[in-house]
């Protein structure tokens, strides 16, 4: 007989919190009747400055089956939090979840960019990715390298050897769910291997907090600049040199000038 759910939640606090966040966002999306095009990530929206979608696309799910599948897999992968003795653990899980969310989103945009600009496959301009699958596939891959003897349990009855789970799941979802994002899942696998093999390394609490801070800043400013949300306390104005935006916080009269790359010739991937 397994442990009571309450004790398992205590043993997987980060996983449980993420599942709670994704479930709450799904409930909000259903209640407000929000479509995937409003929160998902696509090449077109990225080049229009909707960089905030890298975050919202990862934590949003439109269908309940999509949510249940991803959260079931994530719950099983939460064993990472209990593997502090091999260099994983709760801190590692939180730090590299940030890495997986951001890097897999950037990588899939890079893939879209190559397919569109190099191979002229315009179909990928409007393909919209949504869901936590890229992070799930990333953790599958990391665990398959760090703890190859583990099992991936889905829905409480389906068990897969973790060493084959990333590519088994990639093929399985592509066949069973034709609309599944193959490139999104593949990007999670690539970032997962880069992390497990030490190509992406050095994350600690300092860098994780710094990265989170920059994510919040870029998230808020891209929401404002793209017109997706109006922050009344924040006003972004042009100055004489268009490559230097002026940021004004209303109410105190102070301005902050920030350096930025010229808009001409910038390719967002």
Residue 9's region, left for phi above 0, alpha for psi from -120 to 50, else beta, is alpha
Q: How far apart are CA 211 and CA 52, in angstroms?
A: 14
Which one is catalytic: 51, 61, 66, 185?
Answer: 185
Which one is catalytic: 60, 76, 133, 187?
Answer: 133
Is 51 annotated in the active site?
no
Q: What would the 3-class secondary structure string for 55-112 be?
A: HHHHHCCCCHHHHHHHHHHHHHHHHHHHCHHHCCCHHHHHHHHHHHHHHHHHHHHHHH
Is 185 annotated in the active site?
yes
- In the beta sheet, which residues pair with residue 158? 154
CB atoms inside a 10 Å sphere around CB 176? 9
The catalytic residue positions are 133, 185
């Amino acid at each position: 007989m397994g442990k009571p759910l309450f004790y398992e939640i205590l043993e997987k606090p980060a996983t449980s919190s993420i599942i709670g966040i994704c479930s709450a966002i799904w409930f909000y999306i259903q209640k407000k009747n929000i479509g995937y095009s409003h929160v998902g990530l696509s090449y077109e929206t990225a080049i229009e400055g909707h960089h905030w979608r890298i975050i919202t696309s990862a934590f949003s799910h439109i269908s309940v089956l999509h949510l249940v599948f991803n959260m079931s897999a994530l719950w099983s992968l939460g064993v990472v939090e209990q593997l502090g003795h091999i260099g994983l653990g709760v801190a590692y899980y939180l730090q590299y979840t940030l890495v997986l969310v951001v890097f897999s989103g950037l990588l899939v945009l890079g893939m879209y960019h190559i397919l569109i600009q190099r191979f002229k496959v315009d179909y990928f301009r409007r393909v919209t990715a949504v869901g936590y699958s890229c992070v799930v596939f990333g953790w599958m891959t990391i665990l398959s390298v760090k703890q190859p003897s583990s099992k991936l349990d889905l829905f409480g009855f389906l068990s897969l050897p973790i060493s084959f789970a990333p590519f088994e799941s990639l093929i399985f979802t592509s066949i069973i769910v034709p609309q599944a994002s193959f490139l999104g899942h593949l990007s999670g696998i690539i970032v997962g291997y880069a992390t497990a093999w030490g190509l992406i390394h050095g994350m600690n609490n300092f860098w994780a907090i710094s990265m989170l801070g920059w994510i919040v800043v870029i998230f808020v400013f891209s929401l404002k600049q793209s017109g997706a949300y109006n922050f009344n306390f924040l006003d972004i104005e042009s100055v004489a040199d268009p490559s230097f935006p002026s940021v004004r916080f209303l109410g105190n009269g102070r301005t902050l000038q920030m350096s930025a790359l010229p808009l001409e010739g910038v390719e967002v991937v």
